[in-house]
C-alpha cells in the first residue's frame, strides 16, 4: 500500500521493526510520569577558518542524501509508516543560539537542547549545529533520535559531512560512495518477516536459548539495587580499559589462539562477571550490524539485529579454551542471524513485548572497531566523539569501542548507590582481567 502525500514523495508501510517498536514505546510513555527518550550524537572538528556556506550546504546534503533523515513517521491503521520528504524541499535554518564562556557551559546547553529538541514523534527527529570559536577549530555536532540512526551510522555522518564540506569549500559537488536507502531496507525486512509465526523453523535458535535460559532475556547477574518494574535515572560513564599497546598485545594473543580481539574481550567480560559473583556460563544479548558489505555500509539507519550468545567461563578453562568457547558461541549465533529480534520477542515472549522496558536488568554488550569505519583514516584530524543519552533505565548496557588509542568502555546504568558500587567493582575487575590476558597470563 502506497499513496502520494503533499508533504513527501510517498507514504509506504515500510518502517522497520526496530523503528515501530521504538515509536510505540515513546508514544505510550509520553504522558506518563516516566516518559522515555533517547538520542545518539556525534561531534567532530573542522580545521582552519570556517566556510560557513559550505558547512550549511554539507549539512543539508547529508539530509538530502539519506532517505531515513527525510522520513516523517505516522500511524496508519496501526502500522508505522513514513512520508519521505523530497530532497528539494529540505531547507536549513541557521539560528544564533548564544555565546558561552566555558566548555562546560556549551556542554550543558547542548545536552539541554538535545533533550528538548529531539522528539521521536516530531519531524525532524534530530538537530545539527556548530560551535564557533574566536580561534581554533570549529566543532560540529549532530544529534539523532534512535529511530533514524544507530551507533555505526555516526562514522558515516562524520565522513559524509567532512567530505561534502571539503567539496563545497573547493567549489565542487560532493563525490561520495552510493548509500542504500534504509527505507528500502525496512520495506524488504517487513516483506520477509511480517508474516512469520511462532512455529517458523527460523526461530529454532531462539527457542533453544529460551529453554536453556528459562526466558528470552539473559539476566545481568550482579546486584544493581533495582526493583522489578521500575525505571530509574541513568548514569553515563566512559573509561579506557587498555591503551593501544596493551590492546595490540591482547589482539596478538587472541590471534595465536585462533580467535579475534573481540572474542578475547567477550571472554574477559564473562570472566570478570564470574569473578564478581556471576555464573560460569556467560549469556548475553549482542547487537549485530545488518549492513553487510554492500551499499548499506555507507548508509544511515537502524541496521541492528540482536541475538543471544552463550559460552563457558568456568575457572578450569585456560585462555585458548575460553576463546574457543566464545568462537563457537559466536559462530552458532551468526548462523541464526536471520530473524529480527523484535519479531522473535513479539512471537516468543508476548507477555513482555508490550512492557515499557525489559522485565529486569539484562546482560547486554556491544563492540565496534572504529578503525574499520568509513573515514577512519582521518579520525586523528577530525577528532570524532560519539555520545549517547537515555532518559531512564532499569539495568545496565555497555558499549565497547576500539580506536587508534586503545580499547574503551561506555556504560549506562541505573543511578542507585548499589549500582555505583557494583559497576565500579566490575569495571575494575574487567580492566585487571584484560591486562592479565594481554600480558599472556592465565587465571590462577
Report the chain's mean pLDDT, rounded to a whole number.
93
- Taking only the tens place, the pLDDT of each residue in 284-329 is 999 999 998 678 999 999 999 999 999 999 999 999 999 999 999 9
* DSSP per-residue string spanning 114-174: HHHH--TTSSS-EEEEEE--SSSPEEEEEEEEGGG--TTHHHHHHHHHHHHHHHHHTT---
DSSP code at position 341: H
The Cα 345–Cα 206 span in angstroms is: 9
- Taking only the tens place, the pLDDT of each residue in 327-373 is 999 999 999 988 999 999 999 999 999 888 899 999 999 999 999 99
For residue 305, the tally of other CB atoms under 10 A from its CB is 20
Same fold flag, 2-184 and 194-438: yes
**CATH fold for domain 2-184:** Chloramphenicol Acetyltransferase (3.30.559)
194-438: in CATH 3.30.559.30: yes
pLDDT in the model for residue 6: 39
- Taking only the tens place, the pLDDT of each residue in 80-104 is 998 899 999 999 998 999 999 999 9
pLDDT in the model for residue 295: 82
- Taking only the tens place, the pLDDT of each residue in 173-183 is 999 999 999 99
Of 64-78, 140-154, 264-278, 399-413, which range is least confident?
A: 64-78
Phi/psi at 198 (5° precision): -65, -15
Band (pLDDT 50/70/90 cuts) for residue 204 is very high
Q: What three-state secondary structure class fits 8?
A: strand
Q: Does residue 440 register a pLDDT over 90?
A: no
The total number of residues shown for the chain amounts to 444
Distance of CA 63 to the CA centre of its chain: 20
Q: Which residue reads 563545497 in cell numbers?
A: 168
pLDDT in the model for residue 228: 87
Of 57-71, 89-103, 256-270, which range is least confident?
A: 89-103
Alpha helices in 30-102, H assignment, sequence order: 52-65
Q: Where are the domains of the chain?
A: 2-184, 194-438
* DSSP per-residue string spanning 228-240: TT--EEEEEEEEE
Report the share of the chain in percent with pLDDT over 70: 96
What are the residues facing 374 on neighbouring strands?
Answer: none
Amino acid at each position: 500500500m502506497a499513496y502520494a502525500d503533499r508533504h513527501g514523495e510517498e507514504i509506504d508501510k515500510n518502517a522497520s521493526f526496530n523503528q515501530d517498536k521504538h515509536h510505540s514505546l515513546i508514544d505510550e510513555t509520553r504522558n506518563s510520569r516516566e516518559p522515555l527518550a533517547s538520542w545518539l550524537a556525534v561531534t567532530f572538528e573542522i580545521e582552519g577558518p570556517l566556510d560557513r556556506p559550505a558547512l550549511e550546504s554539507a549539512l543539508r546534503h547529508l539530509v538530502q542524501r539519506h532517505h531515513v533523515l527525510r522520513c516523517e513517521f505516522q500511524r496508519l491503521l496501526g502500522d508505522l509508516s513514513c512520508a519521505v520528504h523530497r530532497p528539494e524541499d529540505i531547507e536549513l535554518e541557521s539560528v544564533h543560539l548564544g555565546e558561552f564562556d566555558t566548555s562546560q557551559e556549551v556542554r550543558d546547553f547542548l545536552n539541554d537542547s538535545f533533550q528538548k529538541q529531539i522528539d521521536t514523534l516530531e519531524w525532524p527527529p534530530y538537530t545539527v549545529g556548530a560551535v564557533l570559536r574566536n580561534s581554533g577549530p570549529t566543532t560540529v555536532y549532530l544529534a539523532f533520535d534512535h529511530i533514524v540512526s544507530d551507533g555505526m551510522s555516526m562514522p558515516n555522518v562524520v565522513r559524509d559531512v567532512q567530505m561534502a564540506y571539503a567539496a563545497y569549500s573547493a567549489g565542487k559537488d560532493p563525490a561520495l560512495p552510493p548509500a542504500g536507502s534504509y527505507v528500502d531496507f525496512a520495506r524488504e525486512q517487513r516483506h520477509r518477516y511480517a508474516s512469520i509465526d511462532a512455529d517458523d523453523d527460523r526461530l529454532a535458535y531462539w527457542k533453544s536459548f529460551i529453554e536453556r535460559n528459562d526466558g528470552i532475556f539473559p539476566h545481568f547477574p550482579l546486584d544493581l539495587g533495582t526493583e522489578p518494574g521500575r525505571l530509574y535515572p541513568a548514569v553515563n560513564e566512559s573509561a579506557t580499559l587498555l591503551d593501544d599497546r596493551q590492546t595490540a598485545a591482547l589482539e596478538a594473543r587472541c590471534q595465536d589462539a585462533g580467535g579475534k580481539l573481540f572474542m578475547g574481550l567477550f571472554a574477559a567480560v564473562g570472566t570478570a562477571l564470574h569473578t564478581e559473583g556471576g555464573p560460569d556460563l556467560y549469556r548475553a544479548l549482542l547487537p549485530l550490524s545488518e549492513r553487510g558489505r554492500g551499499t548499506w555500509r555507507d548508509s544511515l539507519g537502524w541496521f541492528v539485529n540482536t541475538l543471544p550468545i552463550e559460552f563457558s567461563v568456568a575457572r578450569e578453562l585456560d585462555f585458548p579454551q575460553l576463546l574457543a568457547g566464545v568462537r563457537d558461541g559466536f559462530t552458532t549465533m551468526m548462523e541464526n542471524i536471520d530473524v529480527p529480534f523484535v519479531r522473535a520477542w513479539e512471537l516468543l515472549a508476548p507477555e513482555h513485548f508490550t512492557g515499557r522496558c525489559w522485565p529486569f536488568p539484562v546482560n547486554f554488550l556491544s563492540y565496534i572497531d572504529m578503525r574499520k569505519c568509513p573515514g577512519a583514516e582521518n579520525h586523528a584530524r577530525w577528532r570524532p566523539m560519539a555520545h549517547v543519552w537515555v532518559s531512564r533505565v532499569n539495568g545496565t548496557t555497555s558499549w565497547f569501542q576500539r580506536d587508534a588509542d586503545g580499547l574503551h568502555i561506555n556504560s549506562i546504568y541505573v543511578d542507585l548507590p548499589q549500582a555505583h558500587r557494583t559497576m565500579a567493582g566490575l569495571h575494575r575487575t574487567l580492566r585487571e582481567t584484560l591486562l592479565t590476558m594481554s600480558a599472556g597470563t592465565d587465571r590462577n
